[in-house]
Amino acid sequence: MGIEMLHVASFKAGAILLFGLFFYDIFWVFGTDVMTTVAKSIDAPILLMFPQDLLAHGWQKASKHGMLGLGDIVIPGIFIALLRRFDAHIFEKDTTKQKPRYYFAATMIAYTVGLFATIAIMHHFKAAQPALLYLVPACLITPLALSLIRGEFSQLWNYSEEHITERFDSIKKAEKEKIENANQKKNKQAKKTN
């Protein structure tokens, strides 16, 4: 729901958001114990827990758990969704339809690899890890490298979703006018009957 409801306005905005959260996550996990303390004390569906001592004790008796916060899924997910819309937008503009875009698929695979790297490092060091330390480079470097290879860096870097916002605003305005017209007709009919 969060990925569907929230949008980043442009690739640049998404990159800045991820870059800022990269340092935020590192500071709050490695610099203090606040993030892990809060995550362990909140009894709400905001994180995924998986056993770290699964191989040693089995599924039933596992006692130590690694945690992955909901933000580690939603924030990169919002950025990856932007890349999906970028793929569709560029494909619509391509008159030849011969150059399919793979930014979404490539970044989704990179995100999955980053997620497995996070879990593997958590298992190896038996300590909390800032997931965005591994996920942000995976989500940023992959589309940027792909755009450089394909010669589309400028298109990707300057991609903005103002066209979506403008279309949404025009639809909203048309719906509002339709409701106002319907209300005016009702008022006129009510005056005629009185």
Q: Which of 25, 33, 43, 87 is catalytic?
A: 25
Cα gap 32→36, rounded to integer Å: 9
Token pair belonging to 79: 């950025």
25 has catalytic annotation: yes
CA distance 131 to 73: 9
Tell me which amino acid residue 133 is: L
Point out the catalytic residue in the list 43, 53, 72, 169: 72
The backbone torsions φ and ψ at residue 2, rounded to the nearest 5 degrees and listed phi first, read -65, -40
Q: Which of 46, 9, 22, 8 is CA-nearest to residue 141?
A: 22
Q: Is 72 among the residues known to form the active site?
A: yes
Residue 29 CA from chain centroid, whole number: 21
Residue positions annotated with a catalytic role = 25, 72
